[in-house]
A and B are shown apart, each in its own frame.
Chain A
Amino acid sequence: MTENPEVRGCVLPLSLHYSVQDHTWVSLDDDGTVRIGMTDIAQNLAGPLLHAKPKKVGAARKRGKPVATVESSKWVGPVKSPLTGEIVEINEDLATDAQLINRSPYKAGWIVRMKPTDLDAELAELATGEAAVEMYRKRIEDEDLKACEHVEGFEA
């Protein structure tokens, strides 16, 4: 299987850990911190983003609490943290280019970097690899979510 399988055109890299419910992903950095962002499905549902506002560095977030708010012309909502921890860095580039999330949801469009406080236990509740792809496939089909559309310059 490719490293970046697709479901209805929506890319789901196998290396990431997903909260399928909240459309977010987590990647593990070598220094014990994690990066958090929105999935391809999330950016597709929201549409071209106008603004993305991460919470501030130093903010303590419980799992399920917002690490950011994002808004498009047709939707506004939270990006819910898949983990508990402290925000140690935010993606400053989003302040001037929220559509980085649309163009590169898993790379340049990351939203916050967090120092997690209960990583092992909470990571075990996220989905990863082919299991995550299958969970997403079921959700996309059950809810008949629209196929992902990618803007010019999209990178997985």
Chain B
Amino acid sequence: MSDDDHEEKKILVIQTHGVETPNRTYSPLFYAMASAAMEIETLVWFTMDGTNQLKKGVAETVKLDPTSDVTLKTMIEQAIESEVKLAVCHQSMALFDMEEEDLIDGVEIMGATSIIDLSLNADHVMYF
């Protein structure tokens, strides 16, 4: 196998930062998109403060560059289009009074045992 042949590899990205720190929201999604482009099965797990960016109507209000029309919502949509899977920690949703209907489309709700399974099954975990 050549060193750039990453098929069948899995990367888990854990995002614990949310809308209160915009500078920490874009890069994990960008790396996840890069990973997916390299044919790596990629999942971003949103937990703790990372959960709040998945609330409907929130991500479109977060912008890193005020002169750009790219918002955090754009990044999330691009990640989904890139076949990055998104999952949210069920327990963390309670921190922000979020119910299933409050979530944007394309996000799977998973519990604490799932993140353990995902961590053990991933070839690498990136923690933000």
Q: Show the binding face of A for B, using Cβ within 8 Å.
A: 53, 55-56, 58-59, 65-66, 69, 71, 74-78
* B37 A74 Cβ-Cβ under 8 A: no
- Chain B interface mostly helix, strand, loop or mixed? loop
Contacts of B68 in A (CB 8 A): 74
Contacts of A69 in B (CB 8 A): 34, 37-38
* A75 B2 Cβ-Cβ under 8 A: no
Contacts of A78 in B (CB 8 A): 37-39
B59 on the A face (CB < 8 A):
no
Q: Show the binding face of B for A, using Cβ within 8 Å.
A: 2, 4-5, 30, 33-34, 37-39, 68, 70, 78, 82
A-B contact count (CB 8 A): 29
* B33 A76 Cβ-Cβ under 8 A: yes
Q: A45: shortest Cβ distance to chain B, in Å? A: 11
* B2 A66 Cβ-Cβ under 8 A: no
Contacts of B33 in A (CB 8 A): 75-77
* B2 A56 Cβ-Cβ under 8 A: yes
Contacts of B30 in A (CB 8 A): 76
Complex A-B, nearest 3 residue pairs according to Cβ-Cβ distance, in ascending order: A78-B37, A69-B37, A76-B34
